[in-house]
A and B are shown apart, each in its own frame.
Chain A
Amino acid sequence: MTQNVDAIVVGGGIHGCSTTLHLCLAGLKPVLIEKDYAGRHASGVNAGGVRQLARHIPEIPLSIRSMGIWEKISDLLDDDCSFESYGQVLVAENEEELAVCRARVAELNALGFTHEELIDGAELRRLVPAVAETCPGGVVSRRDGAANPAQTTTAFRRKAQQLGATVREGVAATNIRYSDGLWYVDVGSESFAAPVLVNAAGAWAGKIAAALGEPVPVETVAPMLMITSRVPHFIDPVVILRGRKLSFKQFSNGTVLIGGGHLATPYQDRNETVLDWKSLAISARTVFELFPVMRSATIVRAWAGIEAKMKDDIPVFGPSSRHKGLYHQFGFSLHGFQLGPGAGAVMAELIVNGGTQTRISDLGIDRFHPTTL
């Protein structure tokens, strides 16, 4: 029995869930298909950074659009997602790095973006009192913050379901095919058909795109994170470094999340990762040097989520260049969480209205090969 719906979304990460919800808000009846459960991979286990700071220029409009939704996330989802907004700070550890920061802010200003702001040493220490004395300044994006990723992804899934989306978890989408203006997907013993198919399958999306004749340069990666036991409150904003791989965030319960993009080895077919403790030790050394207050904290857990990284580090977002009714939303390359709410809204506009006011033209799959439609 094939069930007809308005759209099929493959992948229950924050992107698939957000798109599903926004399709519901637009009055469509979508089905969301997730082979594990919503938020099982990168969307549920990332650092939770809600960051416009230090983004690639092509995705800044999408990031700003998303920020507006984050700031009203409770209204949208009936769940606060533990979102908090104490800003994100990029720390320059020396004058050379500060010069790079200065040039970056000037470039953004010239393009009309004002969310990044250059700060001197005094403002840096006001925002991050615990930072080492030697750091001369940095950049702040004051509206940025952090949220709980698993809670957020789950909240999107739940709200979509409440608004009428069909959700299938624990069964993979298989046998994806196009016939007579409809996309067909098998889900266990069920089949769904819809005029629209959204490929939001994260680390598994590259295979889907390739199978549909649109191969892209993508690899599967697993960025590592570790979290400490509770330590006395000493920092509010999220801190990232200009010159070294480190991101740093203290939660309201006192635990501190340490990330920055060192990679584990992914075993994608087994849903597993093997951590690289020698790389995590590099993160530990960086924290040890910059935040002496952290030296006696204990590390209670480390992990890595599986996700897709594009060769050019920016996502594939927008309509297929080959197939009618097919849309791609993947390859967020370690920085997709903040984009989720906005990308879902924009994707729904593309599907329902055929266009969007948000500039996304540099993110299309056609950047890898010419349109053949």
Chain B
Amino acid sequence: MTVAPKREDYDVVVIGAGPAGLAAAATSAEAGLSTLLLDENVGPGGQVFRAISSTPVTDRNQLGADYWVGADLVRSLRASSAEVIHRATVWSLDRNLDIAVSVGGASAFVKAKRMILATGALERPFPIPGWTLPGVMTAGAAQTMLKSSALVPDGRTVIAGQGPLLWLLAAQILRLGGRIDRILDTTERGNYFAALPHALAFVTSPYFAKGLSMMREVKAKVQVVSGITELSASGDGQLASVSYVAGGKRETIPADLLLLHQGVVPNVNLAMSAGIEHRWDDLQLCWSPVLDASGNSSVAGIAIAGDGAGIGGANAAVVRGRIAARAAVEALVPAAAAKLAPMATLRSELAKAERGRVFLDTLFRPSPQFRIPTGDTIVCRCEEVTAKDVLDSVAIGATGPNQLKAYRRTGMGPCQGRLCGLTVTELMAQARNKTPQEIGYYRLRAPVKPITLAELAAVPKSGADVKAVVRG
């Protein structure tokens, strides 16, 4: 059902119904606060628990036990008094906590006393030659189809990249009878040594056993080539082959589908457009919001939980959601916080959930050649700007991503930099011999997601306008 928000003001507005948002909204509502949860998808779950209430995949083993944890979160939310609206696109948020949201083609404005952003993660761009060809897509997009429609690839399929999600997706495709011809593992060999000091925390974390068995399961059925140092896709208007170099040897294989994945990064667009301060994370190689221990951002009243606060995975997201919600309750109705789990308990749960993360981040740190393209490789897909174009602009005086807009319109297309932003920052940083932090990021602007002119034209008029009309 797509209905507009029932009220104009809420104690707490949560954006995003993934693990963090589900937990945050349930916690806040449980404490008696008027709570609105806005989510862009058709049902709860976010990406990790996508289609949790509607998936046609009923054999629990196929999607794995971790997936079905989402069902409990949804039950708690539904048992609470939180107002939940799906297919709701928040397209503007500012430092006064004014929110503009589009529901069913009509926009409404609501105001919050506290906000919890749980907008999750995006897949990191994977700008290799040919990545814009039809037939090349991200692993996340493939997983979306798999979870919501039980669709799996049946043509010649290559999966390339690295990271936990890549192996999870491969296992899920195979369990559902899909086809994978080859997996090209781009994990840098040196990363294994770099990650070693963090291995103890990892082997005692919940990731370890699950990750190992999943990799074994996949490797039993698919040829895996590791140590990939070069990768490209080619074809005439459609993917025809994938070419790679491993151990100094080049090989080209025919392919109908190439799934790319090299980890996820915080989805920062809404937070940045609200003016929240972010900093470059040298380990995760992405922008992360500056937050205190309760998830509060640099903008008063706005907290961030889940992977949008820095990649931590689903278990950590749930706890961060509860922490942020508890902090909101403490701020608004301190007495009501007594009903909730104590902060100390939550913090120790978070520490447990985050164990092993540094190991994963170090091991799966993507190689420079897969983050920072060269030559004619496309950087900005919306405006078809190549790496060379960016470097040429740097040479004549473009000093950062915002200045680059004037030369090349990068980041000014409909994706608002989601597909090029990190690449542009790192490419310019390398070219100018600066750190990504010094180079900075696009200033992001509302609408964070496009709305039609007709929809904006139809928004409720302000009180003053209405009065003017009444007076005639």
Binding site for B on A (CB under 8 A): 37, 39-40, 44, 148, 150-151, 154, 157-158, 169, 228-229, 253, 270, 272, 274-275, 277-278, 280-282, 284-285, 287-288, 294-303
Contacts and interface: CB of A to CB of B under 8 A. Distances in A.
B63 to A, nearest CB: 35
Contacts of B445: 301-303
Majority SS at the chain B contact face: loop
Contacts of A282: 465
Nearest to A295: B454
28 contacts: A37-B403, A39-B403, A39-B406, A154-B397, A158-B397, A229-B414, A272-B95, A272-B275, A274-B94, A275-B94, A277-B100, A277-B459, A280-B456, A282-B465, A284-B453, A295-B453, A295-B454, A297-B452, A297-B453, A298-B451, A298-B452, A298-B453, A299-B450, A300-B416, A300-B447, A300-B450, A301-B445, A303-B445
B397 A296 contact: no
Contacts of A303: 445
A154 B447 CA distance: 26
A211 to B, nearest CB: 28
B452 A154 contact: no
B470 to A, nearest CB: 17
A274 B413 CA distance: 22
B469 interface: no
B414 A296 contact: no
A294 B412 contact: no
A275 B445 CA distance: 10
The interface size bin for chain B is: 35 or more
Nearest to A152: B406
B223 to A, nearest CB: 43
A241 B399 CA distance: 38
Contacts, number: 96
B94 A299 contact: no
Contacts of B454: 288, 295-296
A37 B399 contact: yes
Q: For the complex, would chain A's binding face be called helix, strand, loop or mixed by DSSP majority?
A: mixed
Given A287-B453, A296-B452, A299-B450, 12 more contacts: A44-B406, A150-B406, A274-B94, A277-B100, A277-B456, A278-B465, A295-B452, A295-B454, A295-B457, A297-B453, A301-B446, A303-B445
A281 B456 contact: yes
A211 B275 CA distance: 30
A54 B245 CA distance: 64
Contacts of B244: none
B452 A299 contact: yes
B414 A300 contact: yes
Interface in B361-416: 396-397, 399-400, 402-403, 405-407, 409, 412-414, 416
Contacts of B275: 270, 272
B451 A299 contact: yes
A37 B440 CA distance: 13
A285 B461 CA distance: 10
